Amino acid sequence: MKERQDTIRLILRHTAQIITPPLKYKVKSEIERILQDLVRFEFIKGAKVVWEEPTVYKELGELDAVIKKKEPHKIKKFTIIRGDMDGKIISYQFEDRSGMKATLEVAINDRLYQKIIKNIVVNFAIIGLFSTVLLCVVIYFYYYYIVASILRLVEHIRKIRTEETLKPVVLEKGPKEIIELVQVFNELIENINKYRNHLEKILEQWKSEAVKAKSASQAKTKFLANVSHEIRTPMTAAMGMLEMLKEESSLADKEKLRHLEVALKSLGALIEETLDFAKLEEGKEEIKEETFNITELGKEIHELFEIEAQKKNLVFEVFISLDIPKELRGDISKIRQIIINLISNAIKFTDKGKITLRIFPEKVGEKFIWLHFEVKDTGCGIPPSELEKIFNPYERLEDLYNKPYPGTGLGLAISKRLAELLGGKLWAESEGLGRGAIFHLLIPLKRAESDSPIQKTPPKKLKGKVLLAEDNPVNQLYFKRVLEKLGLNVEVASDGLEALNVINEKHFDLIILDIRMPGLSGLEIVKRIRKKGISIPIIALTAHSVSEIEKEALASGFDDFLQKPISREELAQKLAKWLS
Ligand code: ADP
């Protein structure tokens, strides 16, 4: 359209040149012809020319005005129009050499614009229609050729997810890329099937290995139980004999016996620690909850270590926070075991200064309380890099010290496992060698209900008639002596049958039966006694750890257990419970 306008301007300029002479001489017919020629163009609707009176007529007019003394001559304007002057106007002004001014105007034909627009719309419509059809064809092709084959693949994958053996996808038609994808997918399925078979075989192998491992572990447990029994029984006998000898020997011999006692005790500790650790590793240790008084525990620990500390010229102090509830529930024997281990270590690894045990609440809840036990010493200390390692089994820092400290390297490993078993934490702190060490034990405990009783210290003297059935002569002698010293009347049976006969003939207030005896076992005897309706308390004497035989013994009819080796106090405490 711009081009058209430029063309019109060019035509106007050309027309101006040819129209100037007729304008100058006012040749109307020629002017009209020229305008008519313009209108003949398809895109020009009308043409108009406006011009001033040419100079020569102006001058004549002025002359007339002077001669005739008329009014001054006025410049006239002439206009000639051809066609219709509605619509967009393009004008062109020009002037001839004599100064005559004229304007040529044309009205552009709108129909042309409309025609152009119509053409454009029609063209666009045709192109649009064509594009839509093309797009539909492309989409159709895309869907049926590409998407449909992908969907078939997806459907197949969905189906084979639940199948035992994965089947390959069958796809004959489709784009090359999808066919390749399906091929790769089928190779993958083949591999998966191969590995699946392989894994199944491995799993089968593992299962049979696991069965073997389980039976090996059972054999190990059995072996441990046997070792425990075999070692603890002669230990009890030896300790018993030692106690008897100590009472009867001279002062000089007493000193030698004390050395023997120390050696036996450390052998006992080694056996106990090894067995304890093995049991913890087996996951056999159980948590037993009982009500206890934390002040009693503090006192007990103080009494236990006071003399040992004094012997090394060490101060041993126990502080118990007043904010701790008096009665708590938890596995006190395991807590005691950990604290005893920490304090014996503190005394062992400290040559001068002080050992402090502080017990205080860390977090106090409505039903639970977290107790913090802190064992601080001024001993040889631990390099910070070793603070975690010392909790590994058999880890000892012997090389760092310039003097030997006896031990097995199992105490802390056992303590840490016990603390974790109780839901707590055990960790150490030290600024380095020679700077002392602090051990922290954090344990969650329950607040005791007011009706759960605390075990009281038993009376020193007891009364009653007791049957002791034990096959080992040394143990017989030891237990008989101890029981008599407690004020009890004791009868001894050396095997199961003898025990059963005596029970049939006489009345007893309490029976102590060794579980393993030649002839009839303790378990069998109890079953027979209970069958007869005899309900007196019967206590099992065992070298096994109680947890191993507890269920079987309780089911047979035993009331309680005594685990060898057993101290005089423990024995008295247990018997007092049943004889009172
Ligand atoms: P043991 O005491 O039988 O060697 P433990 O497991 O109880 O075994 O301790 C492991 C090691 O941790 C000890 O050998 C010692 O090197 C270090 N250790 C433990 N307690 C202390 C302590 N209070 N001060 C310095 N070192 C300690």
pLDDT at 24: 87
Report whether residue 380 contacts ligand 1, using a CB cutoff of 6 Å.
yes
Report whether residue 423 contacts ligand 1, using a CB cutoff of 6 Å.
no
Q: At CA 410, angle to CA 404 and CA 415, rounded to 5?
A: 120
Q: How far is the CA of 563 from the centre of ligand 1 (A)?
A: 28
Highest mean pLDDT among 175-184, 346-355, 468-477: 346-355
Q: How far is the CA of 459 from the centre of ligand 1 (A)?
A: 38
CA distance 382 to 430: 6
pLDDT at 229: 66
Report whether residue 478 contacts ligand 1, using a CB cutoff of 6 Å.
no
- Is residue 527 a contact partner of residue 554, using CB atoms and an 8 Å limit? no
Report whether residue 382 contacts ligand 1, using a CB cutoff of 6 Å.
yes
Closest ligand 1 atom to 273 CA: 3
CA distance 375 to 497: 52
The two structure tokens encoding residue 30:
């020629």
Closest ligand 1 atom to 407 CA: 3
Mean of pLDDT values over 287-315: 87
- Of 124, 103, 111, nearest in space to 47 by CA: 103
Report whether residue 556 contacts ligand 1, using a CB cutoff of 6 Å.
no
pLDDT at 474: 67
More confident residue, 211 or 277: 211
Mean of pLDDT values over 355-382: 92
CA distance 355 to 318: 9
The two structure tokens encoding residue 264:
């036996």
Query: Residue 406: CB partners within 8 Å, gap ≥ 6?
Result: 266, 348
Quick one: how many helices (H) and strands (E) in the chain? 15, 16
Preceding omega of 565 cis (within 30 degrees of 0): yes
Q: Is the pTM higher than 0.75?
A: no
Helix 522-531 crosses helix 496-505 at what angle (to 10 degrees)? 20
Three-state DSSP string of 270-305:
HHHHHHHHHHHHHCCCCCCCEEEEHHHHHHHHHHHH
For residue 524, pLDDT beyond 80: yes
Q: Count the alpha carbons within 13 Å of 546 in the hemisphere toward its beta carbon.
A: 16
Q: How far is the CA of 390 from the centre of ligand 1 (A)?
A: 7
Total Cβ atoms within 10 A of residue 341:
20
Report whether residue 396 contacts ligand 1, using a CB cutoff of 6 Å.
yes
**pLDDT, tens digit (0-9, with 9 covering 90-100), for 118-148:** 999 999 999 999 999 999 998 888 887 788 8
Task: Tell me the pLDDT of the chain averaged across its residues.
Answer: 84
Distances (CA, A) of 535 to 353, 493, 528, 529, 538: 56, 19, 12, 8, 8
Q: How far is the CA of 428 from the centre of ligand 1 (A)?
A: 10
**pLDDT, tens digit (0-9, with 9 covering 90-100), for 460-505:** 678 889 999 987 766 777 788 888 888 899 999 887 788 888 888 8
Q: Characterise 406 by phi-psi region: left (phi > 0), alpha (psi -120 to 50), beta (else).
A: beta
Query: Residue 382: CB partners within 8 Å, gap ≥ 6?
Result: 390, 397, 428, 430, 432, 433, 437
- Of 13, 93, 18, 8, nearest in space to 50 by CA: 93
DSSP for 193-252, written as a single string: HHHHHHHHHHHHHHHHHHHHHHHHHHHHHHHHHHHHHHHHHHHHHHHHHHHHHHHHS-HH
Query: Lowest mean pLDDT: which of 47-56, 246-255, 437-446?
Result: 246-255
For residue 456, pLDDT beyond 50: no
Report whether residue 324 contacts ligand 1, using a CB cutoff of 6 Å.
no
Q: Between β-strands 101-108 and 327-330, what pairing exists: parallel, antiparallel or unpaired?
A: unpaired
- Of 102, 103, 18, 100, nearest in space to 57 by CA: 100
pLDDT at 407: 80
For residue 457, pLDDT beyond 60: no
> What residues pair up with 469 in beta bridges, in sequence order?
493, 513
Closest ligand 1 atom to 379 CA: 24
Sheet strands (E) in 365-413: 368-377
Closest ligand 1 atom to 393 CA: 6
Closest ligand 1 atom to 401 CA: 16
CA distance 500 to 480: 18
Q: How far is the CA of 376 from the centre of ligand 1 (A)?
A: 13
**pLDDT, tens digit (0-9, with 9 covering 90-100), for 74-95:** 778 899 999 999 888 999 999 9
Report whether residue 379 contacts ligand 1, using a CB cutoff of 6 Å.
yes
Residue type, 254: K
Distances (CA, A) of 432 to 189, 381, 394, 464, 547: 60, 5, 21, 58, 41
CA distance 559 to 255: 40
Q: How far is the CA of 229 from the centre of ligand 1 (A)?
A: 29
Q: How far is the CA of 239 from the centre of ligand 1 (A)?
A: 27
Report whether residue 272 contacts ligand 1, using a CB cutoff of 6 Å.
no
CA distance 105 to 8: 10
CA distance 357 to 317: 6
* Candidate of 390, 403, 427 to mutate for ligand 1, largest count of ligand atoms within 8 Å of Cβ: 390
Q: What percent of the chain has pLDDT over 70?
A: 93
Mean of pLDDT values over 226-235: 73
* Candidate of 312, 344, 349, 400 to mutate for ligand 1, largest count of ligand atoms within 8 Å of Cβ: 349
Q: How far is the CA of 391 from the centre of ligand 1 (A)?
A: 9
Mean of pLDDT values over 16-37: 92
